[in-house]
Amino acid sequence: MALGVIFNSLISCIIYYFIILPQKQSKKESNSNTQLQNNITPYLIGYGVIMPICVFSPYYGLRYFYIKNKMMKFFAGIAQLTSFFRCSEAMFGFLPEAVDESLTNLLIYMAFPMEVKFDKDGPIKSTWSRTKYLFVNWIMYIFILGMYTSILSAYDYEPFENKEGPSLLDIKFGTLFTREQLINNALIGILFQIYLTTFGYGLNFIISLLGYHQAPFMLNPIFESSSPSDFWGKRWNMSIHGLLKRGVYKPVRIRMKMPRLVALAAAFLASGVFHEWLLSVVFYPDYDDGSCSPICYQVGYGRNILFFVWNAVLIGLEYAIGGAAIFKLCSKHLPVTIISILIVMTVMPAAHWFTNDYVRSDFMHDVQTGFPMIVRVID
| Beta carbons of 238 and 196 less than 8 angstroms apart | no
What's the gap between Cα 171 and its chain centre? 24
Same domain, 157 and 102: no
The Cα–Cα gap between 95 and 101 comes to 10
| Beta carbons of 292 and 299 less than 8 angstroms apart | no
The Cα–Cα gap between 168 and 160 comes to 21
In order, the DSSP letters of 240-254 are HHHHHIIIIIHIIII
Question: In terms of Cα–Cα distance, which of 33, 235, 213, 230 is closest to 114?
Answer: 213
Same domain, 119 and 133: no
The Cα–Cα gap between 241 and 118 comes to 17
Q: What is the count of structural domains for the chain?
A: 2
Per-residue model confidence as pLDDT tens for the chain (379 residues): 788 889 999 999 999 999 999 888 877 765 666 555 567 888 999 999 999 999 999 998 888 888 888 988 998 899 899 999 999 999 999 999 999 999 999 999 999 889 999 998 899 999 999 999 999 999 999 999 999 999 999 888 989 888 788 788 888 888 888 888 889 999 999 999 999 999 999 999 999 999 999 988 999 999 888 888 889 999 999 999 999 999 999 999 999 999 999 999 999 999 999 999 999 999 887 655 545 544 567 888 999 999 999 999 999 888 887 766 666 666 776 777 787 888 888 888 899 999 999 998 889 988 888 788 888 777 5
Note down the domain range covering 56: 1-124
Same domain, 241 and 344: yes
Length of the chain: 379
Same domain, 88 and 216: no
| Beta carbons of 336 and 235 less than 8 angstroms apart | no
Residue where one domain finishes, among candidates 79, 96, 124: 124
Same domain, 201 and 331: yes
| Beta carbons of 339 and 331 less than 8 angstroms apart | yes
Sign of the CA dihedral with 320 first, then 325, 328, and 333 last:
negative
Same domain, 178 and 289: yes
Same domain, 282 and 371: yes
Same domain, 140 and 268: yes
Same domain, 242 and 104: no
Same domain, 90 and 155: no
pTM for the model stands at 0.90
Residue where one domain finishes, among candidates 88, 108, 124: 124
The Cα–Cα gap between 343 and 228 comes to 6
Residue where one domain finishes, among candidates 74, 91, 124: 124
Same domain, 108 and 131: no
Phi-psi region of 174 (alpha: psi -120 to 50; beta: other; left: phi over 0): alpha
- What per-residue confidence (pLDDT) applies to 358? 92
304-334 pLDDT, tens digit each: 999 999 999 999 888 887 766 666 666 776 7
* Helix, strand, coil percent values for the chain (each to nearest 5): 75, 0, 25
Same domain, 108 and 146: no
